[in-house]
């Protein structure tokens, strides 16, 4: 069974535009987006304030499982931000995140 991805409204409109311009369905791929630590923490804050993960999925196009993973790593993300504020070197910061 393949996993279905939901597309945001913006992504759906872009797909429609590509199809009208003659691009075949097989050529359309979902663009990957990387989120900064601060963006992840902002999304976590929205979920904690009562916004559902399904709503986040629709708004940002982020799978619910990804949001759950970010929430599980919230302490690590906050520690990373704290380390940035302390002025530690980038190498130390990267090693901290991947321990």
Cβ contact 70:53 at 8 Å: no
Predicted confidence (pLDDT) per residue in 66-90, tens digit: 899 999 999 998 888 877 766 656 5
Predicted confidence (pLDDT) per residue in 25-60, tens digit: 655 565 677 888 888 999 999 999 998 888 888 888
Under the banding of pLDDT at 50, 70 and 90, the label for residue 2 is very low
Position 22 scores a pLDDT of 74
Q: Hey, what domains does the chain have and what are their CATH numbers?
A: 34-97 (1.10.10)
SS (H, E, C) 5-61: CCCCHHHHHHHHHHHHCCCCHHHCCCCCCCCCHHHHHHHHHHHHCCCCHHHHHHHHC
Cβ contact 43:60 at 8 Å: yes
């Amino acid at each position: 069974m393949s996993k279905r991805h939901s597309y945001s409204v913006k992504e759906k409109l872009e797909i429609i535009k590509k199809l009208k311009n003659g691009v075949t369905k097989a050529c359309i791929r979902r663009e990957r987006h990387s989120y900064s630590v601060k963006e992840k923490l902002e999304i976590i804050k929205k979920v904690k304030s009562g916004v559902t993960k399904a709503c986040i999925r629709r708004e940002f196009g982020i799978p619910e499982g990804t949001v759950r993973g970010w929430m599980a790593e919230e302490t690590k993300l906050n520690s990373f931000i704290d380390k940035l504020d302390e002025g530690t070197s980038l190498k130390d910061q990267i090693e901290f995140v991947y321990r």
